[in-house]
Every structure is written in C-alpha cells, then in structure tokens.
C-alpha cells in the first residue's frame, strides 16, 4: 500500500508489543510503510496509552512510561503533532463518537490524506476516511 498510514492507538500498541494478534498481511503492510517512513501516530496516542495504563486497561512488560518512551523511539514511526488544523478537523467531524482521542486520531489521518489503521468499526465506517484492517 502506497501513501502514509496513521495507526489507531490499539494498532500501535499491538504492532509494537503483540504483533501476533494483528492480521499477518497487516503486519507486512505496516513493516513496508515503516521502511518507507510513511507510518505515523497522532501525538494524542501516547497520552491515550498512558491514561489506559493508569486505569489498568492495558499492561506492559515494562513500567508504562518506560514502554512509551521506548516505543516513541522506534525508527520509522513518526509522531504527528496536534495543531490547530487537526483540532478544528476533530471538532467538526460529523461523527457520533465521543472519544476525543479517537476524534484526534481520525482528524490526523484526514489532514495527512492517510489511511487510518484501526479495528474500530465506528471509525472505519466514517465516510470521509480511508481505513485498513486485515
């Protein structure tokens, strides 16, 4: 797949911590995008992971902050900053999805013209977004 890919939070965590839970073809696609430096996460994603870890909804082999610091150093995965354009895009999405992190991640993909990698059916059904899973 050509062009940039933006990982939803679960896709980023699974890709780095448990790639075996991802569809095999998807792992290959992500590896290829990473090699081209066309794989991204939103800057909100590490925050969402930290919040989920604090609530006990995700666990890592390392202390969560250390895992995040190491994950953010993985080569080939860029972090897209939150800027006013992404914030406005997120605010005006025609999406009955209250999760602010998901809205920012979707808005990031839209602003980049990227494909969103997500298992979340609510995000995958969004008309303006291109998405990928499996």
Is 31 part of any known ligand binding site? no
Angle 87-90-95 (CA atoms, 0-180°, nearest 5)?
170
- In angstroms, the CA 98 to CA 1 distance is 30
Is 120 part of any known ligand binding site? no
The CA–CA distances, whole Å, from 99 to 19, 24, 96 equal 25, 28, 9
Residue 56, by phi and psi: left (phi above 0), alpha (psi -120 to 50) or beta? left
Residue 55, by phi and psi: left (phi above 0), alpha (psi -120 to 50) or beta? alpha
Collapsing DSSP to helix, strand or coil, 111 comes out as: helix
Question: Residues marked as binding for Mg(2+)?
Answer: 8, 102
User: Residues forming the annotated binding site?
Assistant: 8, 102
């Amino acid at each position: 797949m050509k062009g940039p890919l933006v990982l939803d939070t679960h896709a980023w965590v699974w890709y780095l911590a448990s790639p075996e839970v991802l569809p095999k073809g998807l792992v290959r696609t992500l590896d290829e995008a990473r090699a081209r430096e066309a794989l991204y996460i939103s800057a909100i994603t590490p925050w969402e992971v930290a919040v989920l870890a604090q609530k006990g909804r995700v666990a890592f082999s390392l202390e969560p902050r250390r895992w995040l610091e190491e994950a953010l150093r993985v080569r080939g995965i860029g972090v897209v900053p939150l800027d006013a354009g992404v914030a406005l895009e997120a605010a005006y999405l025609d999406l009955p999805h209250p999760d602010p992190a998901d809205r920012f991640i979707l808005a990031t993909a839209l602003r980049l013209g990227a494909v969103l990698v997500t298992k979340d059916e609510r995000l995958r059904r969004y008309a303006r977004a291109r998405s990928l899973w499996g």
